[in-house]
Amino acid sequence: MPEQQHPEATPGVGHHLLDVSMFWAPTGGVRRVLMAKHDRLRSLGWRHTVMAPGAQGPGLLDCGGLPLPYSGGYRLVLGRGRALRQMEFVAPDLIESADPYVLAWAALAAAERLQVPAVAFCHSDLPELAARLGRGAQRWARRYLVNLYRHFDLVMAPSRSMAQRLQAWGVPRVTLQPLGVDCSIFTPCAQDPAWRQRFCLDHGLAADTRLLIYTGRFAPEKKLQLLADAVALLGRGHALLAVGAGPAAPVGEQVLVLPPEQDGQQLARMVASCDAYVHAGDQETFGLGVLEAMACGTPVVVAGAGGLAELAQDAGLLVDRPRAGSWAEALEASLGGNNAAWRRTALARAQGQDWPRVLTQMTRRYAALLGGHSTAAAPSRERVLAPLASRLARQR
């Protein structure tokens, strides 16, 4: 799908973007994306606020929420009233929702009241997640997503495949918008043989142990146990480093579970110093950890499905079967093969998605919405959201 361009639009100085999301946990790609935007948008002349459950710090708003069991630290926002009042109070020029749940509907109601554009970013493939409960649940999730997203002024998807699926379902105003990586931190220069030597020594590993690393949430859809079983098949001399948190941590004699690493430079050092980055999730819309590994020059072995397959095409090994044997073969091929061509392709692709470039794309889209925003899309949104706004007003 061709990427929409807005050459006449330039980033707006002084505009205020509010990002809202329930995807806020100690680890996970969405939080890191939002914080990367938060750190960099100011240098482009934007104001930026992040609203999320449990968010703390300058420019961050805590919208409450109850701890969600077995989620890896997520909190669930049940009511829209508090979030709507907070959104109205900060009075942004543009609201972006990074999840398709309660806060997304509150964002639409706030955008309607404030008469500002509303953007959705499709970080999660909700129908595929619901498919675990059956085809009926998958169809319901698809209808729900279409009904939600059709009210937004723009829906951004991080991969071409996700954008095409949204369009095929009937979601209007969809555009491709990849995510970014900080190539000043995630770089081949982050490789540190001394760190690797100390790590092996501290964990009782032989100096020549082949280290395979995964970073992110430990969720069932990430299929971490599949990776652990594949590493077991490879035998001694191989170890899986699982860096993150969540309810579905991998187990095995050759598995090292490590806490989330919040320091970007230390995370880059770990990724760049390992022999391969691995990710078996087949429901990813993008794959931020994979992009970071590509920027480090670390070979990647990923599931041949969804956003991961698109991101790593011709830049790593894709595994089509969710079988431990197939993964073991792919890992062995990656560890023993000549990855120079793949690594060059991966590095070039990652550098093309350096955060300064990506944020320039994003802010041009925002500026185009701000410059062209009118009430043209408001009638359909108003019919749905006016009753909601009225109910919320009575709760105040």
Residue ranges and CATH numbers for the domains of the chain are 16-180+354-387+390-394 (3.40.50.2000), 188-351 (3.40.50.2000)
Three-state DSSP state, 139: helix
Give the count of beta carbons closer than 10 Å to the beta carbon of residue 20.
29
**Gyration radius from the chain CA atoms:** 21
Single-letter amino acid code for the residue at 303: A
The more confident residue out of 383 and 299 is 299
pLDDT bin (cut points 50, 70, 90) of residue 42 is confident
The kind and range of the H/E element at 386 are helix 378-395
Q: Give the pLDDT confidence score for residue 9 in this predicted structure.
A: 40
Q: Examine the pLDDT at 378 and tell me if it is beyond 50.
A: no
The per-residue pLDDT for range 289-344, each reduced to its tens digit, is 999 999 999 999 999 999 999 999 999 999 999 999 999 999 999 999 778 999 99
Question: In this prediction, what percent of the chain has a pLDDT beyond 70?
Answer: 91
H helices within 157-305, ranges in order? Answer: 160-169, 193-202, 224-234, 264-272, 288-296
Q: How far from the centroid of its chain's Cα atoms is residue 26's Cα?
A: 14
Mean pLDDT of 349-377: 88
Q: Give the pLDDT confidence score for residue 1 in this predicted structure.
A: 45
Rounded Cα distance, 316 and 99, in Å: 29
Q: Give the pLDDT confidence score for residue 13 in this predicted structure.
A: 58
- pTM for the full predicted model: 0.89
Instruction: Give the range among 92-96, 176-180, 382-386 with minimum mean pLDDT.
Output: 382-386
Q: Examine the pLDDT at 392 and tell me if it is beyond 90.
A: no
Q: Give the pLDDT confidence score for residue 10 in this predicted structure.
A: 42
Q: Give the pLDDT confidence score for residue 379 in this predicted structure.
A: 42
